[in-house]
Amino acid sequence: MRRVWVRELTGWLGALGVSVIIAGQVAASARSELLFRDGDSLIVAMFARSVLAGGPQDWAMSSVLFLPEASAFAGLDALLPLDPTSLLAVNAVLNLLALYGSLRLVAGRQREGQAPVAWSLIALLAFGLLAATEISASRDALELASLQLTTTYYAATVIGVVLSIGLVRRVLDRDRGGSGLLVALGAVAAVSSLTNPLYAVWATVPLTVYLLFAMRMSTRRTRMPILLAVLVGGTVLGLIGRIPFGAWVANTGAGYAQPALWPQSAAYYGGLLLDRLSTPLGIIGCLLALALLVWAVLRMTRAEDPGSRLVATLAWLMPVLVVVGAIALGTHAARYLQPVAFAPVLALVAVPRAVRMSRRAARPAAAVAAVLVLVGSGLSVPRLGAAAASADPDLLCVTDWVDASGRTGAGQFWTARLPKLHLDDPAQLVQVDHQLNGYAWLVNRRDFDVGEVSFLIEDAQTVRWQLPVAVVPDEVVDCGRYRILDFGDTTLPLGPPHS
């Protein structure tokens, strides 16, 4: 028993080191824009800090409620004396560490002749290699693995999907019992679908398809209906649980499904793939993903037990179903295809057989691997810290001016998000459209209660203003890439909010 705990603890420590290395690499690339400064990427930090600060909460969310992500970020914010950007960096590491934990669950129990801990680490490393090939600043690129490092792009849903597969496998691997695992599966399905309906597409549908087909062939066929009932039941309960949050859901996501546009959708995703293949790193990433898919098919054909066959099959089935489904529904968002990045690595933990090595060779190999992880993580901590603490004098100019003004101003979505997060009082910067109507999207709608503003913030992303009254600013404050239009004692009325 002691050896098992030592092995598991070693795995977690190794996963922590690998996670730091991955996060440091991604943060040192142009992808850091998506991690730390992108308007969409800041919603969880803004939501969590608002809740911790107290006061009325009336949020306009997308179809995603970000409940697990916000809870994790709020916990970090309450425990660590760090600025928002540093907290986002720590969160990136924890997201990868959580992925390791879910992969370890999928790998199954420690048994004779198997090395689930080692293969879980290898799977995390493979996922990290995919993320390391992603270096663009675009949220719309087909660079899906690095999205796991953000707090916004469905990190908790990815974990929930992998955990669900792991729980189903654990039930299939057991000779009897497993009621606790079934309860856990139902809870994960409920929480995941409550916070993000996309869980039903990524996990419930592929698992249902597999369980229905496997019901006739598996030696565990009597458990398939129970697993199916728990999975679907948990998903339905989660979707029902969204009803009390209806006032917070500004967009249910139903409008994103436009089946008639499937040809345009196919062309869109095909264009993203061509863009990905236009760079050497993109080619390497695609080849690695393809190799993992081939490995998954091979593992499926050679699987000797129901649990291994389940994992190997889903490793290729999930990407296929998600891509086909995304095109059939006429969607146009790369982030919906994330199973293309995380599902194939499951092939590495489907059959985690131990590699036969003599003790004389195994110990030096383990020592070399440990040293590489230790050195790599030691070098990556400063890289990650430097990326998070990168000086932004333009942002500092804006936040210092707004904090000192004691007044309330406004800015458009892509301009206002970053300064708003870093203000002492985020309510001092109201999110509006170019006509000064409140823009109720991923923001606390109580901000609009102020009714009027006396300055505007703009940058290169700002759409030309069409103000409700003809006024000229008393002063224009130059803050590098930002400009502050200060109207002094003159106030501008806010229009009705919309999403």
CA atoms of 209 and 5, how far apart (whole Å): 36
Supply the pLDDT for residue 205: 96
Using an 8 Å Cβ cutoff, are 349 and 106 in contact? yes
Which residues fall within 8 angstroms of residue 415, CB to CB, at 6 or more apart? 457, 458, 459, 461, 462, 482
Q: Which residues of the chain have pLDDT under 50?
A: none
Q: Give me the phi and psi of 477, to 5 degrees please.
A: -90, 125
Contact 114, 353 (CB under 8 A): yes
Determine how many CB atoms are found less than 10 A away from the CB of residue 221: 13
- CA–CA dist 143, 81 (Å, integer): 32
- Inter-CA distances, 265 with 147, 278, 330, 389, Å: 21, 20, 5, 39
pTM beyond 0.85: the answer is yes
**Strand, coil or helix: 436:** coil
The DSSP string of 157-180 is HHHHHHHHHHHHHHHHH-SS--HH
Task: Write down the residue that tokens 């107290």 correspond to.
Answer: 54
Report in angstroms the alpha-carbon separations of 145 from 26, 137, 304, 342, 349.
10, 14, 30, 7, 18
Q: Which tokens belong to 336?
A: 């919906």
**Is 348 in contact with 294 (CB distance < 8 Å)?**
no
Q: Which of 118, 145, 147 lies closest to 34 in space, CA to CA?
A: 147
